[in-house]
Structure 1
Amino acid sequence: MGKNRYVFWGLVITTLISALDANIMQTASPTIVKQLGGMELFAWIFVVYMLASTVTVPLYGKLADRYGRKKLLMIAVGIFTIGSILCGIANSMVTLVIYRGIQGLGAGGMIPLSMIIVGDLFTIEKRGRIQAVFSSIWALSSIVGPVLGSFFVKTLTWRWIFFINIPIGILTVLCLIPYKEQVDFKKSYIDYKGFFLFGIAITLLLLATNVSHPLWYVIAGIVVFLIFVMVERKETYPFLPVALFKNKGIFRTNLFMLVYCLSFYGTSNFIPLFLQEGNHMSIYKSGLILLSIAVGWMFGSTPAGNWIIRFGYKNLFILGSFVTALSGLLLYLFVENISYAALFLVLTVQGFAFGLLFAVATIASQEFAEAEIKGISTSLQMFLRNIGASIGVTIMGVLINHAANIVVGMQNVFLFALIFSFVAIFLSFLIPAKTTAVS
């Protein structure tokens, strides 16, 4: 790895602060609301961050193809760090919500740009192993984050969950400084009009998943999206390049990942809740179950690069989607009486499928794309994953809230996920086996 070692650690730290922020906030937010007041704005601490970080993902990818990844990642980390400082000094819920939005604007570029840099620097074989490291950080943060959140709230003050990002952000930038980009970036026109229309449409549709009367948001979102399509058809250099949709490899991989993230990817959000309420398990033990997904993910993503060369993309997508569906079927059938050990084992297998497919899909989004659209291709796929997961988790939440009890709710969630996992199996057969199939 040599000269890329510092860059690699910079990307690891970037992933770490993104992952920890999400998980620490879940633990600390009740205390923050208690001190600042404004309970009616509680959900917006998360909603505004999610909106800002999701909508800006494609723009970061587009800008990365024009100005380079290094500069943009340093800017994204800078925005996130400034947002963290502002959140730490917030004196009301209104200001905290606004500052969380600024944090989200930075967060929207941190993970996608890290993945794009990995695609630029490392071979396919190494990328699987590197993504295993990143994935493990996310999974472990889901366990460590709540513990750290409790520590900051009880020992120091909730403000330190934001201030801790300052030295980490500075360290990230210092690690990136030695990185010399080898790619020749072309100055190209950026369709900001298209971005704003696209951003407004997606924001309205995402808001529909977080408000009590979603219909008007859905209608408004669809109308703005149709305007976006009509405007973009006349645009010479549209915000989302036509090449992304004409390229069968990119289009089918993205469609697969959108549907796949609608299925079992979101169920892990509810499993600790199910263990706490259905089995009266401690918060610690119920949270520890997520370690199973982390372990499986590591084993799935580590060999992904080598397996692509050996078996091709299509076979791996088929394998991963079948493993997901079979493990999901076991969860659906035996959720009522499943033991902790058996659940841990099934989730490990499912984590293996997650790790394999996410690594293969990320590499595919880069290898199927021409050099000048590699950034937007990678970020668009991550954007669609976020959209799929957001919609999936929202529907799952509704299924649990309207069920007679938590066990019935989880059965309904697993049935919903199972249906979409079968759709994913069908789509996996449509993905080209090799990059050359679409060149």
Structure 2
Amino acid sequence: MNRNIYVFWGLVITTLISALDANIMQTASPTIVKQLGGMELFAWIFVVYMLASTVTVPLYGKLSDMYGRKRLLMISVGLFTIGSILCGIANSMVELVIFRGIQGLGAGGMIPLSLIIVGDLYTIEKRGRIQAVFSSIWAISSIIGPVMGSFFVEVLTWRWIFFINVPIGIATILCLVPYHEETEFKKTYIDYKGFILFGISITMLLLATNVKYPIWYIMISLISFIVFVIVERKEAHPFLPVTLFKNKGILTTNLFMLFYCLSFFGTSNFIPLYLQEGSHMSIYKSGLILLSIAAGWMFGSIPAGKWILRFGYKNLFIIGSFITAFTGLILFLFIKEMSYVTLFMILTVQGISFGLLFAIGTIAVQEFAEANIKGISTSLQMFLRNIGTSIGVMIMGLIINHAVNIVTGMQNIFLYAFSLSVVTVLLSFLIPAKTAESSKS
């Protein structure tokens, strides 16, 4: 039991450095570009990190089913820490972009492997509370991350944005050392052809969200994916096991989470912008609005484990998707007249549905999966969430850029999100109520 406490804190620290790295760069990146030059590579500081950390997620899941979670998590944290050191000593933008890629390769395993270990160690009832802790870390870091970035730039140097990860990374590895995995892992053949084709397809798709003329990237992505499907059909041990798609629970849950992230999950990126430009609100006050989603998220995720045992997966997915769709419809219809307090309250309610659905989504794909594919099943959902959010934000960016003004643009974003949320409501009725395990209990 004491060992589990060390592991728990190791996973908390892992989540902390992942969350801080995602937020701390926002305020520091302009200063970094000024000092290193290479403004044309500015976007690539973020793009290369996103590509590396997203494409490798399913591979980490697959490898963890073969070699164990602990070993892979320690390797990914080590890789992230080495990447951080290299980023801290970078002397040009080219070097920084390359080293951010190394950081991203490590980051790709940190969050999914942490969630997989939580699934191995804790009961369904406890997992909701633990995921609430992880969610609160992301919420807090979204506020203190930019502040820390400003502090390092003004008081020390931007290089400490990366160096701060080093002691945290070492502490994480030390916390994981006492952990002994009880699950037996089977070493099998790894389909690298499938991974490479899959990686090319997803890389091109993600690049399409960050370039001016995305059509060629989308075409290459589509062709690569078609070749991937053809190759995988003939593969004895495919990169993505067929059982993932034959399992109704895994298939419907992952489809649900993909469309869910395509819809309302990305809207929070634009709400502060809307308040600043549309209501002439201060940066500080417009940023605080996101605390509503963070607070709601905690209220939704903490009791998720208990609610699964009481109501089953299907009912919770239906309720959560209805809450999201209903609050989204209110935002679309009344955003122009809505006061700050009312908007805060609506977003809090929507945050509750976010917390509930993300918690039960993670638990569901772990419980629907057999032990030997739990890792790839969990990481596949994390991967699909990343893809859905990236594409959703890209579409929302296009919508707001082509609107006559920021208010109309925000209203159009909510219309788009609401339309897709109707799809998630329909998908929620297809998800099984219980897994085989929960049916027995």
TM-score above 0.5, yes or no: yes
Q: Secondary structure at the match of 1:330?
A: helix
The aligned counterpart of 1:179 is 179
Q: CA deviation at 1:330?
A: 1.2
Question: Hey, what does 1:383 align to over in structure 2?
Answer: 383
Task: Give matches, 1:392-411, under 5 Å.
Answer: 392-411=392-411
- Could you say what secondary structure the match of 2:404 adopts? coil
Distance 1:83 1:408 in 2: 42
Q: Does 1:364 align with 2:364?
A: yes
Q: 1:228-251 CA distances to partner (integer Å, 9 max, x unpaired)?
A: 111111100000000000000000
Contact 2:89 2:159 in 1 (8 A): yes
Contact persistence 2:367–2:437 (CA under 8 A): no
User: Does structure 1 residue 56 correspond to structure 2 residue 56?
Assistant: yes
- Tell me if structure 2 keeps the 8 A contact 1:36–1:91: yes
**Correspondence for 1:208:** 208
- Check conservation: 2:79, 2:103, Cα contact below 8 A: yes
Aligned ranges 1:73-92 → 2 under 5 Å = 73-92=73-92
Structure 1 residues 256-295: aligned runs within 5 Å: 256-295=256-295
| 2:211 aligned partner, one-letter code | V
Distance 2:288 2:295 in 1: 12
- Structure 1 residue 294: deviation in Å? 0.8
Amino acid at match of 1:4: N
Q: Who is 2:128 aligned against?
A: 128
- The answer on whether the counterparts of 1:249 and 1:438 sit within 8 Å (CA) in structure 2 is no
Structure 1, unpaired ranges of 5+? none
Task: State the AA in 1 paired with 2:204.
Answer: L
How far did residue 438 of structure 1 move? 11
> Structure 1: how far apart are the matches of 2:330 and 2:228?
42
What residue number does 2:233 align with? 233
CA RMSD after TM alignment:
1.1
* C-alpha distance after superposition, 1:290-311 (max 9, x if no partner): 1111110000000000100100
Partners of 2:84 and 2:279 lie apart in 1 by 37
Distance between the aligned counterparts of 1:141 and 1:418, measured in 2?
A: 28
| Amino acid in structure 1 at the alignment position of 2:272 | P
Paired residues for 1:66-145 under 5 Å: 66-145=66-145
In 2, Cα distance between the equivalents of 1:77 and 1:438?
Answer: 33
Q: What is the one-letter code of the residue matched to 1:370? A: E
Which one-letter code corresponds to 1:12 in the other structure? V
Q: Deviations over 1:314-343 (max 9, x none)?
A: 000000000001111111111112111111
| 8 A Cα contact 1:263 1:421, kept in partner | yes
Worse overlay, 269-278 or 355-364: 269-278
Instruction: Please give the secondary structure, in 2, of the residue aligned with 1:227.
Output: helix
> Counterpart amino acid of 1:177?
V
Aligned residues: 439
Superposed CA deviations along residues 181-223 of structure 1, whole A, max 9, x for unmatched, are: 0101111111111111100111011111111111111111111
Distance of 1:179 and 1:289 partners within structure 2: 39
- Structure 2 partner of 1:313: 313
Deviations 1:142-191 (A, max 9, x none): 11111111111111111100000000000000000011101011111111
The aligned counterpart of 2:341 is 341
| Distance in structure 1 (CA, Å) of the matches to 2:156 and 2:16 | 21
Alpha-carbon separation, structure 2, partners of 1:287 and 1:159: 25
CA distance in 1, matches of 2:400, 2:230: 39
1:245 aligns with 2:245: yes
Whole-angstrom CA distance in 1 between matches of 2:180 and 2:2: 13
Q: Is the 8 A contact 2:17 2:168 kept in 1?
A: yes
Structure 2 letter corresponding to 1:238: P
Cα displacement (A) at 1:437: 9.5
> What is the CA deviation profile of residues 400-435 of structure 1, one whole-angstrom value per residue up to 9, with x for unaligned ones?
111111111100110000000000000000000010
Aligned pairs for 1:150-165 (under 5 A) are 150-165=150-165
Aligned-pair CA distance for 1:3: 2.6
| 1: CA distance, partners of 2:338 / 2:159 | 40
Query: Which consecutive aligned stretches of 4+ in structure 1 deviate over 6 angstroms post-superposition?
Result: none
Partner SS state of residue 241, structure 1: coil
Contact 1:247 1:438 in 2 (8 A): no
Q: Distance in 1 between the 2:139 and 2:335 partners?
A: 22
Q: Which residue of 2 aligns with 1:188?
A: 188
Percent of residue pairs identical = 79
The amino acid across from 1:219 in the alignment is M
- Encode CA deviations 1:265-308: one digit per residue, 9 max, x unaligned: 00001111111111111111111111111110000000000100
> For the Cα contact (< 8 Å) 1:368–1:438, is it kept in 2?
no
Mapping for residues 408-419 of structure 1, pairs under 5 Å = 408-419=408-419
Alpha-carbon shift at residue 436 of structure 1 (Å): 2.3
Q: Does the aligned pair in 1 maintain the 2:332–2:414 contact within 8 Å?
A: yes
Q: Secondary structure at the match of 2:395?
A: helix
Paired residues of 2:249 and 2:368 also in contact (CA < 8 A):
yes
Structure 2 partner of 1:12: 12
Q: 1:87 to 1:428 in 2, by over 3 A?
A: same
Contact 1:136 1:294 in 2 (8 A): yes
8 Å CA contact 1:252–1:427 kept in 2: the answer is yes
- Within a 5 Å distance, the mapping from 1:31-46 to structure 2 comes to 31-46=31-46
Equivalent pair of 1:276/1:283 in contact (CA under 8 Å): yes
User: Which secondary structure state, in structure 2, belongs to the residue aligned with residue 27 of structure 1?
Assistant: helix
Distance between the aligned counterparts of 1:426 and 1:41, measured in 2?
Answer: 42
1:296 aligns with 2:316: no
Instruction: Give, in whole Å, the separation in 1 of the partners of 2:312 and 2:425.
Output: 16
Once the 2 structures are TM-superposed, how far is the Cα of residue 2 of structure 1 from its aligned partner? 3.4
Q: Distance in 2 between matches of 1:138 and 1:416?
A: 26
